[in-house]
Structure 1
């Protein structure tokens, strides 16, 4: 029986020809940067993690803009971390602490996504706004989408997102808070809109940050005011805004805005969340195993590891490799033309035969064409990836998972309930040291009135925060 024929490779076919409907709908066919490993290394060479730690919160701060390349696996967290540590004296790695800590947020979010899967699209907890979840609109407002709200800051962010596929960390949080709390749109609608346009959009960092802003993964909602905007952005938005002298929705103190926006910072009666309380408390961790190379393997390269350093490619040098445009996923996420262009440019630097269609069917056909019984690939936290692997195994194929270098290790199961607990377990490893044992919890006493306290240095006592504040999202 002769092997099935393969269509010609689509590697050099422009995505505008593959997806003409998307390119007709999205007038911006290229985002703020081109894709590919060559471009990623250029940006990595410009990395300034020392200054980043001082001014990353400002819109003109020294952010690295590597997130799109991390999200698509063009670079790994470990190699970016190593590049950051190279900027610090060997005896003072703490000088790049903030940058490495920010990298850890992506690792944290990906691990949470791997545990909860499609639940990442559900409210982990109820909104802490006093507003029932059904009162948040399911239809995304056209004036936000088109940048015609009348608020100059909001409309500028809408244009920047749609035209470039990029927003600064702080802007993402401000924009999300406006959409969810001022306009009462459910966070899933905003998260989907971001994924459509952001070059780095994915359900891990994107959705979990939206949940944090919305208060469905935090004990109270995130808001901001005009003073905060001016502090970190200057007058670039306010000076030309028609609402500058009246009608600005962000004028007021935090207490005034909170009273205006929320009936109360508690769940509405009868509201519940979808995440069982113990789901993320003790997630097993051990180094991912490395398989033995199979001499007859073909390599499947997917969108989470678009790098010449792809571990499956390196384990099977010279073997046939395939990338499949997942048309169903692109349609489901309504991925923009600029995002497809970015992915196309990443793929063009790889030694792959490019197909499109049902991923499992096309990879299986590719394997049969080359007489292979083994498919070598790299892991992904996506539940869709797991379903594709199961479909390949159902067709009698062995799927090998070649892991990328570990960013941070732990001696114990990971506590992923909040980033601070996870970071306490892995921070030593993230800086190249042996994993540290869990720190002993400080003794907590309760004073009159029931306020928790812990003893600080010098015998003083200070109030224990209810929860650590999440820093800016994983876009670094």
Structure 2
């Protein structure tokens, strides 16, 4: 790593996060989450994946899941390299053995693409609630008993505690907890999404908010519910056995029909309600292979929180050039990022050949470039509107910004249809398995009415 000019402050790379953010660490007693930050830890976790077993038992709380999500969210691993690792577990003649694992990876790619297209709209109701209730029926005040794990329901309180202590929740638990927050307590989904982003090591507005909107029914044709039978099926009786509400007062001990009748006016939008997203906006989102910039003699590298890896493409393009990472004070405060998540990010940053600063990101990157006499900033793309605003500020300061993209997870032969995941998946599925892009597979014919009714009754 080149010696920094004397005009720059000393690097904060090796300063413990507890010293950088003492107020956060004082108010959050859980300083280490379930995963260690950094590429070395990510590769160790990647070597342990079992995508074949995942396809069989992922829905059970004790099933095999890879827990790679923090490394994917922060770009320590790319979707393409995780996919490639998964494919090594299946012969070329039988990629279906890992089909479900690759398909689940595609949800990350899909939600990031949606986020890149809609921007800050990711925090608005895409569609109205399909609960018969007006948006005004949902409180904006997040309940303290959910946040602190004192509701009295053993499952809810255990999940709240796990979230706050570890920064992790199984995907099934995320859906169950979100359903409780939105439908049983009638809290707007944005409050729950913000709570998750604070604590989850993988929290971001793409996958996180898309998931909450799906549960809430603001991007789904009906609300997501679960009951006690569903809980016992996938979790056993670990929660119910000692729950004070097990024999009386359990809010989940009912049929789906009874729960729907209790919680919803009906499963349609309330009169006069509308969403904020025009679906046509996602119907044909342009897709083309990422452009590879041409290297220049005078450039600095800006590493941001979406690609915290020594394999960062901009770092690879300028292996001997000066690089900088900036702790984004404004964003950390806005998202009230937990101590355990800052510890994870710090672990990632320590493995980077970068000078570490903090404050206003655009201002610090500009200062870093000027100190090195550079007229170009090389970085990696991000779907975040905040990233776009920073790039605009860099360009306004006279800097050229190069975007070095990570390997593509899935290619398409035409603009992407992002209105529903299934249509997107049909477009990129061949490429996602390492084959040449192919035309979308035809939709499967709808099931017979009797089977459809059975499926609906089981949901």
TM-score by length of 1: 0.93
Q: Are the structure 2 counterparts of residues 267 and 9 from structure 1 closer, same or farther at C-alpha, using a change threshold of 3 Å? A: same
Residue in 2 aligned with 1:67? 69
Distance in 1 between residues matched to 2:22 and 2:280, nearest whole Å: 46
Residue in 2 aligned with 1:473? none
Distance in 2 between residues matched to 1:146 and 1:301, nearest whole Å: 35
TM-superposed CA distance for 1:277, in Å, is 2.5
Residue in 2 aligned with 1:437? 439
Q: Deviations over 1:2-41 (max 9, x none)?
A: x881100000001111111111111101101211000000
Q: 1:128 aligns with which of 127, 130, 135?
A: 130
Kindly report which structure 2 residues correspond to 1:112-261, keeping only aligned pairs within 5 A, or say none: 112-261=114-263
Distance in 2 between residues matched to 1:402 and 1:434, nearest whole Å: 23
Kindly report which structure 2 residues correspond to 1:74-93, keeping only aligned pairs within 5 A, or say none: 74-93=76-95
Distance in 2 between residues matched to 1:69 and 1:198, nearest whole Å: 12
TM-superposed CA distance for 1:455, in Å, is 8.1
Residue in 1 aligned with 2:369? 367
Q: Deviations over 1:205-246 (max 9, x none)?
A: 000000000000001100000000000000000000000100
Where structure 1 has 5 or more consecutive residues not aligned to the other structure, the ranges are: 443-453, 470-476
Residue in 1 aligned with 2:27? 25
Q: Deviations over 1:288-314 (max 9, x none)?
A: 100011121100000000001000000
Distance in 2 between residues matched to 1:66 and 1:226, nearest whole Å: 29
TM-superposed CA distance for 1:268, in Å, is 1.1
TM-superposed CA distance for 1:196, in Å, is 0.1
Distance in 2 between residues matched to 1:277 and 1:244, nearest whole Å: 43
Distance in 2 between residues matched to 1:455 and 1:211, nearest whole Å: 25
Distance in 1 between residues matched to 2:407 and 2:55, nearest whole Å: 25
Secondary structure of the 2:278 match is: coil
Q: Aligned residue pairs: how many? A: 451
Q: Are the structure 2 counterparts of residues 378 and 463 from structure 1 closer, same or farther at C-alpha, using a change threshold of 3 Å? A: farther
Distance in 2 between residues matched to 1:455 and 1:330, nearest whole Å: 46
Secondary structure of the 1:148 match is: coil
Q: Deviations over 1:409-444 (max 9, x none)?
A: 0001100000000000000000011111134567xx
Distance in 2 between residues matched to 1:246 and 1:101, nearest whole Å: 40
Distance in 1 between residues matched to 2:214 and 2:16, nearest whole Å: 38
Where structure 2 has 5 or more consecutive residues not aligned to the other structure, the ranges are: none
Indicate conservation of the 8 Å contact 1:4/1:365, yes or no: no
Distance in 2 between residues matched to 1:455 and 1:247, nearest whole Å: 39
Distance in 2 between residues matched to 1:296 and 1:89, nearest whole Å: 46
Secondary structure of the 2:259 match is: helix
TM-score by length of 2: 0.96
TM-superposed CA distance for 1:462, in Å, is 6.2
Residue in 1 aligned with 2:268? 266
Secondary structure of the 1:278 match is: helix
Residue in 1 aligned with 2:420? 418
Distance in 1 between residues matched to 2:201 and 2:142, nearest whole Å: 20
TM-superposed CA distance for 1:463, in Å, is 7.5
Q: Are the structure 2 counterparts of residues 422 and 385 from structure 1 closer, same or farther at C-alpha, using a change threshold of 3 Å? A: same
Q: 1:315 aligns with which of 301, 314, 317?
A: 317
Residue in 1 aligned with 2:277? 275
Distance in 2 between residues matched to 1:36 and 1:378, nearest whole Å: 18
Distance in 2 between residues matched to 1:262 and 1:407, nearest whole Å: 39
